[in-house]
Structure 1
Amino acid sequence: MGYFFDKIEVNPIIAAVNDLDKLDMALESPCENIFLLTGNIFNLKEISSRVRAKDKGLYVHIDLIDGFSKDTWGLEYIIKNMYPDGIITTKSNLVKLSKDLGAFTIQRFFLLDSLSLDRGINSLKSTRPHAVEILPGIMPKIVKKIHLETNIPVITGGLIMDKEDVMQSLNAGAVAISTSNEDVWYM
């Protein structure tokens, strides 16, 4: 479980790959972890092997992988056969199952308003993922609130444009920043 945290101590920027044409750039970047936001049943094992060969952490967003059922069997198959370092999901039931299967688990939340914030905090208190990713990631006050109320490490993502966004997130208490913005990967 400490693998993720060891890697973000080296570099808190996480390369979020939402287009496989960007995978090579992510593999060559200084980012120690990769959030895979695309892929399918046919290419996931190869992607996993390529990431492992570069000694980077691979965290698969299970909700976004094509060709797998978003249920118990699909999740178990990915964990046991594709060997990611962890799972990302927006689904509370998959957080629990992923943890039960021994996988490092990141619950992802899209925060649109106060109601989604309150529901998200309540969900985190019951599911207790290893980390939470909140989107959009440019809300320092919200980062502080979530961390204080749940004591769960916060990752920010979405709308991260530059070094100032990164620094604001880190200063607010985020442990890492995920972004598909390649310019930010090299900060």
Structure 2
Amino acid sequence: MQRKEFIEQIENNPIIAAIKDDAGLEKCLETDIGVIFVLYGDVCSIPKIVDRIKNAGKTVVIHVDLINGLSSKEVSLDFIRNYTAADGIITTKPNLIKHAKELGLNTILRFFMLDSIALQNVEKQSHADVQPDIIEVLPGILLPEFFEKIRKISRVRLMASGLITNKTEVLNALNNGVISISTTNQSIWEM
């Protein structure tokens, strides 16, 4: 999937199902949600998990940092490219973005917004040679002003996740420049 098509797919799915176990996998396959973030598995199970989601006609993004048996080395991305049909990866490690892009994988760089240093890291990444396709910030219940700050310093689209529990919080993010939210909260998948 090309970068432009990937970003359009994320924008067209304002709520993304993030799955953390087999029960979540089963549930997301029953929904109309078109993009699934895989937050669990291991090197033996991830190809099968991805195949099930792809066979359901959905876009699959693997959080490589959370897959047991993968490391923060580039070879982990080679494994994802060679042994799965994943459309992209999520990582908290900027050094993996360049190699993922070289392999033709779409990229999401995740930031935990804990303090002003995190905001500086977003700004630093926005000036890096290799940029992710999307930046994901956690928690997703940030104040509107904070979303605005991130959008001003970043050249890439912004999504949010984490601690979003109701429609008001979803709308807060979406109405303040976030293109989509990802959540493991299955009640939000149905909104």
Q: Normalising to structure 1: TM-score of the pair?
A: 0.95
2:173 pairs with one of 169, 172, 180: 169
CA RMSD of aligned residues (A): 1.3
Q: CA deviation at 1:143?
A: 1.8
Partner deviation per Cα, 1:65-105 (whole Å, 9 max, x = no partner): 01123211111111222120101000011011111211100
How many residues end up aligned between the 2 structures? 187
Name 2:54's counterpart in structure 1: 52
Name 1:17's counterpart in structure 2: 19
Task: Write the mapping of 1:101-180 to structure 2, written as runs, cut at 5 A.
Answer: 101-126=103-128, 127-139=130-142, 140-180=144-184
Q: Tell me the SS of whatever aligns to 1:120.
A: helix
Query: Quick one: distance in 1 between partners of 2:127 and 2:180?
Result: 20
Q: Tell me the SS of whatever aligns to 1:16.
A: strand
Q: Tell me the SS of whatever aligns to 1:155.
A: strand
**Structure 1, unaligned stretches of length 5 or more?**
none
Name 1:96's counterpart in structure 2: 98
Amino acid at match of 1:157: S
Query: Quick one: distance in 2 between partners of 1:136 and 1:71?
Result: 26
Instruction: Please identify runs of 4+ aligned residues in structure 1 that moved more than 6 A.
Output: none
Please say if 1:32 is aligned against 2:9: no
Amino acid at match of 1:104: N
Partner deviation per Cα, 1:116-159 (whole Å, 9 max, x = no partner): 11122212331410001000011122222212221210010001
Name 1:185's counterpart in structure 2: 189
Partner deviation per Cα, 1:33-91 (whole Å, 9 max, x = no partner): 01111111111111111111111110000110011232111111112221201010000
Amino acid at match of 2:173: S
Query: Quick one: distance in 2 between partners of 1:53 and 1:124?
Result: 35
Amino acid at match of 2:145: K
Q: CA deviation at 1:31?
A: 1.4
Q: Tell me the SS of whatever aligns to 2:175.
A: helix
% identity of equivalent residues: 39
